[in-house]
Amino acid sequence: MNVEYREEPCRSALNRVQGMGFGWSLNPYMGCVHRCTFCYVRAFEQRAERPSDNRYGTSIRVKTNVADVLRRELARPSWQKETVVIGAATDPYQPAEGRYKLTRACIEVLGAAGNEFGIITRGPMIVRDLDVLVEASKRAKVGVTFSIPTLDPEIWRRTEPGTAPPHQRLRALEQLVAAGVKVGVGMAPILPGISDRPELLADVVRAARAAGATGVWANVLYLKPGTKEHFLSALERDWPELLPEYERLYGSRAYLPAEVTKPVREQVRALTRAHGVRDRRPIRLEPPDDPEQLQLSI
């Protein structure tokens, strides 16, 4: 896949967020080469009249000045040192970070300011930044969440085509924990009829516990326009026998009812208790249950 990298300065670094459990997000890049079939950002891309189909992830905006802009914003008298989450709209450790090191630079800025922050990623490259993460954690609360919906190699390969294998993420998680960084696992999205089998859920929780995760949370797939069309197309290609059931389940809605999602979440919670995962909540990055509350500025 050919990827275009557009080096473009930004006017602002921090984005105000509503309805997601934290107040501010930071995205050093826009667009993501991971190109997960279920990525909720595709819905925002469609709303902004940008490609949400197979073209998504082929053009990455690199915010070359993001760390300098962030430093100025954190120095404003009006800034209240609210929690900032890095990676709300695009993975901060996708391959471009290896060259540009913008995520690393932003961690250094947040650490120097003593500002609490969290990171969510599927990228093992984060271990490169152990030094700045540890240093930042001496001045403020720092949390990392690895997105690991499944360990099943076939499901991973079909739904997260541009990501590192789940076991590589677990090895990175283990290294961060060994260095004293608090790291959790987000099992999201759980795909009805695909990754929601009890043994698959248990596999992730057991592996998270073995790696030293500080918490595990889960959420079921949701499909807003933009994401929905792309995911159903991928489903028809990879699991055509499930397409009628998904069309029935989601119909004209993006979120599944509580009677469908609640048992999955409760099952994961029971597994975390059974396997002794410590109850220290990691950064939880997911849209709220009520779709009317979700407003993410990107």
Helices and strands (DSSP H and E) totals, the chain: 11, 11
Q: Give the three-class secondary structure for 91.
A: coil
| Backbone φ, ψ for residue 252 (5° rounding) | -100, 10
Strand order in the sheet with 59-62: 4-7, 59-62, 29-30
The pLDDT value recorded for residue 250 is: 94
Q: Which residues are paired to 203 by β-bridges?
A: none
Please report the domains of the chain, with CATH numbers, ordered by start residue.
Answer: 4-285 (3.80.30.30)
Do the Cβ atoms of 87 and 30 come closer than 8 Å? no
The pLDDT value recorded for residue 88 is: 87
CA gap 70, 14 in Å, rounded: 7
Nearest to 103 by CA among 138, 132, 80, 141: 132
Do the Cβ atoms of 89 and 28 come closer than 8 Å? no
Nearest to 100 by CA among 66, 138, 133: 66
CA gap 160, 157 in Å, rounded: 6
Write down the residue that tokens 């099992």 correspond to.
187
CA gap 58, 89 in Å, rounded: 15
Residue 184: burial class (beta carbons within 10 Å; 0-12, 13-18, 19+): buried
Average pLDDT by consecutive 10-residue portion of the chain (298 residues)?
91 90 92 90 71 77 97 97 93 97 98 97 98 96 97 98 96 96 95 96 97 94 91 96 95 89 93 78 41 32
What is the pTM for the complete model shown?
Answer: 0.89
Do the Cβ atoms of 59 and 3 come closer than 8 Å? yes
Rg value, the chain, Cα: 18
Tokens coding 253: 């809605």
